[in-house]
Structure 1
Amino acid sequence: MESIVIIKGNVKHVITLDPGVWIFDDRKVDLTTYFDQHPLDTKDDQLEAYTREVSKHWEREIREGAIYPPTLKTERKFEKEKVLNGTFGISLGPFLKNAEPKEDAKFVVFQTQKEAIKIPITDAENMILGFSKSGKPLLEDGPIHAYYHDGRNKLNPITHIREIKVI
């Protein structure tokens, strides 16, 4: 099975996606918790989330004092284990943006082994591409799965994607 997926069609630039390298990408998200914690973000939600995180940090420092580097070893070990055993995805939006869909582009078509699934480009920009499950690449029904941002298809994602075509 080929693990490369191409974004092509009504775009200025053809983009080659290699899901095998996304594990090293800081933009990856944990799919086991993503759909519960991240409804479609708006700027207000992002500001509110940032404020909440800063508040937690300050509260922790007030209660416990500053935490210095010795704890970083355990945090790194936890992150390594999470990467080796995690289920991850990455947003399709930045890749579509880099492909620069032309102004008359209205849809994104996910070409699978069996069918072509047509989605409005505005919905596709917010989709998440799953690329690993329990620390393993999606070899049997991959190389990527496509999930709606709100998780409505998290139990039944679009699988066996061979190419992504903008029309």
Structure 2
Amino acid sequence: MIVPINGKVAYPITLDPTVWIFDDRKIELEKAFTEKPVDTNDQDELERASQRWSQEVYQQNIKPPVNRSIKKYEREKILESSYVMPIGHFLDNAEISKDASGAILVTDSKEIPISIDDLYHSYFLFARDGKPLKEDGPVHLYYQDGSNKDNPIKHITAIKIK
């Protein structure tokens, strides 16, 4: 149930979608294609360099934003809803090399090429009805523009940056 991001990155990382249910960055699937997404490419280079410095200096204290006080009705909603996670956060942390030409989505049966820009502007579906995607997961890829809303890329097990 993990998804490694490796290849032409400064920091190969491993994603664990099973813990994202508690992450504040998650978006309900129904709202993902109706609300305007945040463009992670709009950050200027100075801000990204500042974030990298902060990560290096405060590495022991950096934790993802987590819902600390979940009320009973919120817990029930979490266990009934489907959620996506914007991928850009993780690509920023991996620091894709400037000479990367694209990415490959590794599934259980094939490898699917995708551009870095399309990858940045995508979501991972990680929970359906509050449960992990065990049979056709661990994640599905949806483009933020909703163009593959009815036919997501399923069975993604790794991302290779080439």
Report TM bin, short chain: 0.7 to 0.9
TM-score (norm 1): 0.75
Matching of residue 93 in structure 1 with residue 88 in structure 2? yes
Q: Percent identity?
A: 46
Provide the residue aligned with 2:42 in structure 1: none
The correspondence for 2:137, drawn from 116, 135, 142, is 142
8 Å CA contact 1:146–1:158 kept in 2: the answer is yes
CA–CA distance in structure 2, aligned partners of residues 33 and 149 of structure 1: 11
Compute the displacement of 1:12 (Å): 0.7
Matches of residues 24-103 of structure 1 in structure 2 within 5 Å? Answer: 24-35=22-33, 37-41=34-38, 76-103=71-98
Provide the residue aligned with 2:151 in structure 1: 156
Provide the residue aligned with 1:51 in structure 2: none
Query: In the alignment, residue 20 of structure 1 is paired with which amino acid?
Result: T
Structure 1 residues 24 and 164, CA, compared in 2 at 3 Å: closer, same or farther? same
The correspondence for 1:133, drawn from 128, 135, 147, is 128
8 Å CA contact 1:4–1:19 kept in 2: the answer is yes
Q: Which structure has the bigger radius of gyration?
A: 1
Provide the residue aligned with 2:19 in structure 1: 21
- Residues 26-49 of structure 1 deviation map (CA, whole Å, 9 limit, x = unaligned): 0000002221x224456xxxxxxx
Compute the displacement of 1:155 (Å): 1.4
RMSD: 1.7
Provide the residue aligned with 1:119 in structure 2: 114
Matching of residue 12 in structure 1 with residue 7 in structure 2? no
Provide the residue aligned with 2:48 in structure 1: none
CA–CA distance in structure 1, aligned partners of residues 118 and 4 of structure 2: 19
Compute the displacement of 1:78 (Å): 2.8
The correspondence for 2:100, drawn from 83, 96, 105, is 105
8 Å CA contact 1:109–1:165 kept in 2: the answer is yes
- Residues 97-116 of structure 1 deviation map (CA, whole Å, 9 limit, x = unaligned): 11111110121210111111
**What is the aligned length?**
133
- Residues 110-155 of structure 1 deviation map (CA, whole Å, 9 limit, x = unaligned): 0111111111101111100010001111000000001000111111
